Amino acid sequence: MNPSFRIAPLAGAILVACSSLAHADPGPTPALATLPVDLDRIEVRAEREGYGPQATSTATKTDTDLEDVPQAVTIISEQLIQDQGLGTMTDVLRLVPGVGVAQGEGHRDAPIFRGNTSTSDMFVDGIRDDVQYIRDIYNVERVEVLKGPNAMVFGRGGVGGVINRVTKVADGNTYGELGVQVGSFDRARGVFDFGQPITAGSSFRVTGLYEDSESFRDGFELERYGINPTFAFGIGDATSVVLGYEYFSDERVADRGIPSFNGRPVDVPLDTFFGSPDLSYVDAEVNAFSALVEHQFSPDVVLRNRTRIADYSRFYQNVYPGNVTANADGELFVDISAYNNNMDRENVFNQTDLVMKLEGGAIDHTLLVGAEFGRQETGIFRTRATLTGPSRLPISDPRYVGGVDFTPRIDLDSVAKVAAVYVQDQIEFSPQWQAVVGLRYDHFEVEANDPLAPASLSTRDDLWSPRVGVIWQPVEALSLYASYTTASLPRVGEQLSSIPAYADDGNASLLDPEEFASHELGMKWFVQPDLMFTAAVYQLDRSNVVVSDPLQAGEFILFDGQTTEGVELSLAGEVTDRWSVIASYAYQDGTIKDPVKPDARPAQLPRHSAAIWNRFDLDDAWGFGLGAVYRDDVFATTSNKVTLNSFARVDAAVYYTLNPRLRFQLNVENLFDTDYFASAHNDNNLMPGSPRAVYLGANFSF
């Protein structure tokens, strides 16, 4: 399919297909999970185990069945996380259509949402968790990935999508589980989940992690640990409180992979480390306090207040590969560079939501009125490096063994403040027709100063974020929707760390935020009560992008930056009581409209990608899993000079339940030992995928 692809033809095809389904026998009515406000279970969750949760409180900030959400949403359930032995966000996202993962310099999560890379659009229980680090999912009940701009719910950013981790909290139930995983490349990982009621109205729960592992990459080491206790209690009959604290530490080697030559990764063993693992390291630490207070005025009126205070500290240092050149004899050499960066940030966010259900007339409403206030203080200190040893090394021996001298380069302090109000109405005109209409206003201020540049920035943006969605449910098992959403990204960047070169030029238009607008059509169909098929077709436009003027040095111009169009299909749930499946396919076509390099393709945007995972239970004791991941060719960066080839990888698992308290599983990643490159940071930082790896896990319930 070529860049002239447009939404209308495929949308029409989907709607014709859906229309035929609407007049077919719908089969059994889907048994939807009922999710009322429950003071003993503060966080709304899908009640049914398996791969196909049917409700979310994240997409609309209200308890909403998935078929009533007018956007593409993928939910990775706790059962699926356990079955695949997943531990990181990168592992989770390989099953999500339309979402990829960039390398992130080996020290941060960097998902790619519909052609837009982000390191900040991550949330915990609906609150911003936007610092660059590699997250673990030891304390996660499920991961929700919402595609398309989401500013009406989440505020600035969220331009191509967001990821929300729903954490495990005290809820009045009893928990007792210990999990251990060991295997290839000296992996050793343990997690636990323990909780129980204290009194009739209070309970506690604590989850924890420790991991000490290596990898197939020579010189790589990792140690991470975390603990997350929560405490829930009631105040009277209508008010409940959940308090939590998390400490998380991640220490690892910063590995930026393999460089390229003539448009392809250089031909070296995939475990070859370029640079110095001894001088490349990451130390990230998170201390976060959370509080949720919920008061139920009546069954139809609930007031909810959520607070998160998080202190982040992160240092990373890279000695990494750059350009590869050949001498007169054809021998290849790589240039080695280095730098380091220290960042400290304190986030304080408070959200208040009032949810009211208004019924009784011809039209029913679920009305949300809310406000968010936040403050982010950030300090960034970055150096440039001078290598004291030879910095041009043969690729046959690319380990750097000299020293490094560092000179200060950036010393930036910034304070960002946000005050937002929003209103949303979920309108039910009839059992067949619904609408979701919302509007958010953010007043966003940033003061930033870097005396080393020297440079300063003071901006105040007024961001309006509308959301409009219409849902038609011709039969009970099928819903069709159309939606329009927008989002904005202020000039300080997603990490609040950029002072643009034009900040003091007085050109106000250059300081206006980037804008993103999405049109989406889709369907959600319960093929059977526990199995949902979804389809979405979309166009995402990025505008108000600033680039250097190619005709006048030192000047800058605005242009409409990028268009991504695509189709996403997914199937998730239970085919039978012994067969669970999650499958996805995405077609993505993107064009960058930069006047310097017109019609370039966005970085790491495959035209075709697909994934599937099945679990088959042979009986109550034995089961097995089988799946595959496919990705088409991609360009490493927007330069379009370096290509990562397409690949297909097969994974498998075997499950054995000895008794109700003890179960084992054996996971095999890359069963056929395929060589491939999984991601990139730039044209000379390309990360190979893991060769065959085998992991044995044991889970003990008590």
pLDDT band at 37 (very low <50, low <70, confident <90, very high): very low
The pLDDT of residue 69 is 96
pLDDT exceeds cutoff 70 at 204: yes
687 closest CA partner among 277, 321, 333, 393: 321
User: Residue 148 corresponds to which tokens in the numbers above?
Assistant: 């398309």
pLDDT exceeds cutoff 80 at 401: yes
The pLDDT of residue 500 is 84
> Which residue has tokens 């049917």?
54
What percentage of the chain carries pLDDT values higher than 70?
92
Report the CATH number at residue 595: 2.40.170.20
338, part of any domain: yes
The pLDDT of residue 615 is 97
Q: What is the rounded average pLDDT for all residues in the chain?
A: 90
415, part of any domain: no
Average the pLDDT over 161-176 and give the result.
Answer: 96
pLDDT band at 505 (very low <50, low <70, confident <90, very high): low
The pLDDT of residue 551 is 76
pLDDT exceeds cutoff 70 at 53: no
How far apart CA 502 and CA 508 sit, in angstroms, is 10
* DSSP for residue 272: P
Residue 12: how many other CB atoms lie within 10 Å: 12
User: Residue 37 corresponds to which tokens in the numbers above?
Assistant: 């406000």
pLDDT band at 594 (very low <50, low <70, confident <90, very high): confident
Q: Could you report the per-residue pLDDT of 477-488, keeping only the tens digit for each?
A: 999 999 999 999
The pLDDT of residue 502 is 78
C-alpha to C-alpha distances, 530 to 481, 502, 572, 573, nearest whole angstrom: 21, 54, 8, 5
Left if phi > 0, otherwise alpha if psi is -120 to 50, otherwise beta: which for 246? Answer: beta
> Which residue has tokens 């994974």?
651
The pLDDT of residue 41 is 34
The pLDDT of residue 259 is 98
418, part of any domain: no
What is the DSSP track for 53-101? --EESSSSSS-EEGGG-SS-EEEEEHHHHHHHT--BHHHHHTTSTTEEE
* DSSP for residue 339: E
Beta pairing partners, 462: 443
Binning the chain into helix, strand and coil, the percentages to the nearest 5 are 5, 60, 35
230, part of any domain: yes
Average the pLDDT over 512-527 and give the result.
Answer: 95
The pLDDT of residue 508 is 67
* Direct distance between the N- and C-terminal alpha carbons of the chain, in angstroms, rounded to an integer: 54
How far apart CA 397 and CA 378 sit, in angstroms, is 39
The pLDDT of residue 545 is 86
Average the pLDDT over 359-386 and give the result.
Answer: 95
Q: Could you report the per-residue pLDDT of 430-462, keeping only the tens digit for each?
A: 999 999 999 999 999 999 999 998 988 888 999
Q: Are strands 332-358 and 175-183 parallel, antiparallel or unpaired?
A: unpaired
Q: How many CA atoms lie within 13 A of 135 on its CB side?
A: 27
pLDDT exceeds cutoff 90 at 47: no
pLDDT band at 74 (very low <50, low <70, confident <90, very high): very high
509, part of any domain: yes
630, part of any domain: yes
Average the pLDDT over 265-284 and give the result.
Answer: 97
> Which residue has tokens 């999710």?
35
What is the DSSP track for 198-266? EETTEEEEEEEEEEEEE-SSTT-EEEEEEEEEEEEEEETTTEEEEEEEEEEEEEEE----B-EETTEE-
Average the pLDDT over 454-472 and give the result.
Answer: 94
Domain range for 692 is 7-260+271-323+332-357+365-405+430-701
77, part of any domain: yes
Number of domains in the chain: 1
User: Residue 91 corresponds to which tokens in the numbers above?
Assistant: 């592992």
What percentage of the chain carries pLDDT values higher than 90?
82
The pLDDT of residue 504 is 67
pLDDT exceeds cutoff 70 at 418: yes
Q: Could you report the per-residue pLDDT of 305-363, keeping only the tens digit for each?
A: 999 999 999 999 999 999 999 999 999 999 999 999 999 999 999 999 999 999 878 89
How far apart CA 438 and CA 59 sit, in angstroms, is 12
Write down the pTM of the prediction.
Answer: 0.91
397, part of any domain: yes
The pLDDT of residue 361 is 81
